Every structure is written in structure tokens, then in C-alpha cells.
Amino acid sequence: MPRHGESRKAAPAESVSPLDVALWCAARGWPVHPLAPGRKTPAANCDTCPPAAHPPQGCPCLADGAWCHGFHAATTEHARLSAWWGTQPAFGVGVSCGPAGLVVLDVDAHSAQVPDRTRLLPGIEIHEQVNLEGLASGFDTLALLAAFRKQENPAEDGTTLRVRTPSGGLHIWYQAPPSGIRYRSSTGSSPKVALAWQVDVRATGGYIVAPATRTTAGTYVPVGSVRLPAPLPEWLAAELRRTGHAVADKPARPPVPAPRRVSKPDGTAAHRLLEPLLSEVEGCGAVAHGASFTEKLNRAAYTAGGLVSAGHLTDAQARELLTAAADAARPHQSHRSLAVITSALSAGLSRPLHLKGRT
């Protein structure tokens, strides 16, 4: 995965450490948690986790920064991630989909008994005249669903991040819409909530293996050149609602107040460097989608971290400038913006920016 300031294209999987992967994900506002070395399942609880069964929310280890309870421990905090993977560098990387605002289609290619046609696409009647000869996996049922809706097959969607799995499956990553609707996770074999046979949904209450993660079965390899999720297509959002994946709407938001003004530069070299980056962030407010808001905020925060490390700004000044610009552009994403700011600022601290004309 690329480091801060590098190309959007990922580095070759063989040269990337799990910590690099974790930090790359965190910089995009995706909370991550450790996976057991060489596996795709969460790491076991830390050694001090109480043995008695208890809900994740009440686990004292989480408050102490441990990795207990899988995706419930997921975070974007740079220092915590460095500590986790510094202690266990062989950990894999899982992304908690709900807090990350992700909906990932997990397409399986397992050898399994093909069910009756009534269970291939829940809620859609597949008439007997439809020839299903050769149908054998989730790739086939997803293509069938797209054909029924006269839409592009998501497995061939070159506009979004797609990741080939060691077993021959495919993870298709999408960004959930900012509508407030949350989507639940499901398995394609579920008799209650399913999108298609052998097509799992990873969303709220689930996690997905990060690209470039290595297991004993192989590496999760990105397909093509796109490394970021595209917005969830409306037709897929409609299918998720139809199949019962939409959990609930968040409470109605109050009227949006006028965005607060971003602090003006004071003429120092630090502010002259940071001002155009903040302007790019604030300018994303004029574009609902496709403005690369997260990347621009990440770049501004990473630069600000370098300025803080070199003594040109205080941490409080940097956070005020960044938060104001982010809120002006995306007033309803303050929590996610804060995660990006915190992670990128922390990463920038490791690379001081020494400027001439310091005041």
C-alpha cells in the first residue's frame, strides 16, 4: 500500500509490511484491527483479557489499548497501531466496515452444492426458461443479478477497489452513501437476509481483510489500478434495501449551520505552505462525490504534522485549521474527518518540515 504522499497506486504486495497496510487504511479513516498471523480471522484476545465471558463494550483491555474482541478494537490511532504491529509484526490487517462507512461484496468461488433456483437470488423469481447450466459460484449469481437489473456486473467494475482473494474469490469495495442508512452484514447462504448465493455482504457488524494482507493460503491482491472504493451504486443500494440489509436511518439531522470560516494565514512560511492545501479541502464542499476529500484532508493533515514536529505550528493550531476546513466541506462527517486528521497528523510528526523564515 502507498505511504503518505506517494501515488494512489499500491506498492507491490511483496514489499509492503502489515504495519504499512494498517497505517494506509487508517489514513483513509478506516479503523483496523489485527488478524491472527497467516490467517483471515481476528487475533486472539490479549493475554490479560479476563477469561470470563463479557461483552466487548465492557472489556477493560480495550480501554487500555489492547486488541481484544476483533473488530470491536478497531482504531485509526497511529500510535496504537504502531504499538500493536510493533509487538506482533506478523499480524494481518482487518478493516471494520461499519465505522469505515464501507459496504464490501465478498464473492465466493467455493465448491458447493448449487441450491434450488428459488434461493439463488432471494426475492427474485428465476423462471424455468432461464438456463442456469454452468452456474457454480457467486460470480455467476452476481452476474445474474446485474443482468436482471440491466446493470454492469460489479465484479467487472473497474472504477472501484477490487481485491482478489487467495481462494479465487473477489472483494468489491464500495463507500456507503452519506444518507444515514446503515447496512448489515450477511452471508450468501443465509435463509433470512442474503443478496445472492455465495455473495456475502460485509458492512455494519463485520470486517474485511485489507488489500496486500498475506496469509498461509496466499495474498489479497488488488485488481487493476484503482485503490479506493467508489460510491455504492444506487441500484445495489436498492437491492440491499430490498433484501433487508438496510438496518435503520440515523436520527434526522438538524439544519446545517453556516460553515465556520477557516482561520486566515498569518503570513508565516508555515501558513503559506498549508493555506493552498486547506483551500483544496474546503473546496470539496462544492462537490458531493468524487472530490477526493479524504485524500486532500489526509495530505493537509500530514503536512501540518510535519510543521508541528518542526515547531512551526502547535498541535492545537493545526487541529483548529484542519477541523475548520473539513467541517466547511463535509459538516456531517466530523467523526470520520477527525479520524483522518488524527492519523495523518500523527504520521506527519515523524517527518519534520523545516522551513526558512520561521517566525
C-alpha cell at 157: 467494475
Q: What percentage of the chain has pLDDT greater than the value 70?
A: 87
Do 103 and 188 fall into the same domain? Answer: yes
For the chain, how long is the longest CA-to-CA vector? 78
Q: How far is CA 276 from the centre of its chain?
A: 27
pLDDT band at residue 281 under the 50/70/90 scheme: confident
Burial class (CB in 10 A: 0-12, 13-18, 19+), 148: middle
* 264 within some domain: no
Q: What is the pLDDT of residue 35?
A: 96
Residue 285 and residue 258: Cα distance in Å, rounded?
Answer: 12
Chain mean pLDDT for the chain = 84
**Residue 263 CA to its chain's centroid (Å):** 30
Partners of 249 in the β-ladder = 181
Looking at the structure of the chain, the number of domains it has is 3
191 in the same domain as 148: yes
Which comes out higher in pLDDT, residue 290 or 18? 18
Q: Write out the residue range of the structural domain in which residue 295 sits.
A: 269-348
Only one residue has cell 486472539, namely 44
pLDDT at residue 248 in the model: 65
Residue 255 domain-assigned?
A: no
Q: Record the cell numbers describing residue 182, joined without a space.
A: 446503515
Kindly tell me the burial class for residue 184, based on how many C-beta atoms sit within 10 Å of its own C-beta (0-12, 13-18, 19 or more): middle
Is 182:250 a contact under the CB 8 Å cutoff?
yes
The reply to whether 113 and 67 lie within a common domain is: no
Q: How far apart are CA 77 and CA 65, in angstroms?
A: 10
Dig out the grid coordinates for 353 from the structure.
518540515
Residues whose CB is less than 8 angstroms from the CB of residue 2 and which lie 6 or more positions away in sequence, other chains included: 8, 9, 10, 11, 24, 227
pLDDT at 135 over 60: yes
Q: Is the pLDDT of residue 290 over 70?
A: no
Q: Does 28 map to a domain?
A: yes
Residue 353 lies inside a defined structural domain of this protein: no
The arithmetic mean of pLDDT across residues 212-229, rounded, is 94
Instruction: Note whether 164 and 245 are same-domain residues.
Output: yes
Spatial neighbors of 267 by CB under 8 A, at least 6 apart, are 359
In a domain, 5, yes or no: no
C-alpha cell recorded at residue 14: 511483496
- The answer to whether residues 237 and 167 belong to one domain is yes
Residues 227 and 179 in one domain: yes
In which element (H, E) is residue 103 found?
strand 102-107
Tell me whether residue 315 is in a domain: yes
Grouping H, G, I as helix, E, B as strand and the rest as coil, residue 219 is strand
On whether both 141 and 241 belong to a single domain, the answer is yes
Q: What is the pLDDT of residues 187-202, one digit of tens each?
A: 888 878 999 999 999 9
Kindly report the pTM of this predicted structure.
0.68
